[in-house]
Amino acid sequence: MKNQLDLQVNFHTHTYRCGHAQGEAEEYVLAAIKAGYKRLGFSDHGPFPNFIQPGMRMNFEELENYVKDIDSLKEKYKDQIEIYCGVEIEFTPSYLDYYKKLLTDYHLDYLVMGNHLMMNNAECLWYFERPNSIENLDDYITNSIAGLKSGLFSIFAHPDIILNSFTDKCDKEILNKLKILEQVAIENDIPLEINMQGYREKLEKCGSVNAPMFNNSYCYPYESYWATLKNSKVKVIVSLDAHNPSYFKDDNFGFAKYLIEKYNLNFTQNIQLKKI
């Protein structure tokens, strides 16, 4: 068996264009084929118009060529693997028309909502800039709910990433507030993502998946969050969040498998492509 989940799809894949991943798109395709994947979705960090963020996301001017590159790979490898083109991008209500444009004018197959920051008039506020702030958590939840309800997103990436901002503790009040995301995701048929890049970073920076929280460290996936979804109907997808083609080598998905089995999570390998 290829891995402990027999994972055959990955809809969360980056390329060199975001500035913090390595490798051309074709290198990821070849690595995924070699590893036995059946479907591969590219979701590099999407740009915002008139906004440059080096090392975090591609520039807006790169978007057209990004789509062309992926579309050419779809045709080239169509007999070996299904390829999809999307972006991972933060949701802010004022950019609603822009998200629609990504699906229509740029013909993207899907959008991944990955809420690292909140956009405001071409300025950004990272959700980790206000540690231990309930107001910050409320902003994250409000924008995430609006994104889930927009009908434009196919995956909610690392919904537990906000817990990184709570460097002191993660108590029941915080987890109870996040529970609302579960029901909204169910109502809109959007899978919540167990993110294996976070797992990899956690091992590297913290030494153990059970390590205490460290400021400025990737500590998701948080078991305490996934425990709140025990026996839930909400769909759960596992993603590599690949930033290097080497991620497609035989990998250990033991922690994701552990979470899925211990809490009877509703594991899926399918997403709905949201078209408007």
pLDDT > 90 fraction of the chain, expressed in percent and rounded: 71
Contacts of 86 (CB under 8 A, 6+ apart): 11, 41, 42, 43, 108, 109, 110, 111, 112, 154
| Predicted pLDDT at 59 | 96
Q: What is the pTM of this model?
A: 0.93
Tell me the three state secondary structure of residue 254: helix
2 compared with 172, residue with greater pLDDT: 172
Whether residue 78 contacts residue 40, with contact meaning beta carbons closer than 8 Å, is answered with: no
Q: pLDDT tens-digit profile of 208-217? A: 655 544 444 5
Q: pLDDT tens-digit profile of 234-270? A: 999 999 999 999 999 866 688 899 999 999 999 999 9
Model confidence at 160: pLDDT above 50: yes
Model confidence at 224: pLDDT above 50: yes
Model confidence at 77: pLDDT above 90: yes
Length of the chain counted residue by residue? 276
| Predicted pLDDT at 2 | 46
| Predicted pLDDT at 210 | 56
| Predicted pLDDT at 264 | 98
Q: pLDDT tens-digit profile of 82-133? A: 999 999 999 999 999 999 999 999 999 999 999 999 887 667 888 878 888 8
Q: How many CA atoms lie within 13 Å of 16's alpha carbon, on the beta-carbon side? A: 8
What single letter denotes the amino acid at residue 245? Answer: P
| Lowest-confidence segment of 27-36, 111-120, 229-238 by average pLDDT | 111-120
| Predicted pLDDT at 168 | 67
Instruction: Compute the average pLDDT of residues 175-189.
Output: 96
SS (H, E, C) 193-229: EEEHHHHHHHHHHHCCCCCCCCCCCCCCCCHHHHHCC
Tell me the three state secondary structure of residue 94: helix
Closest CA to 181 of 213, 224, 138: 138
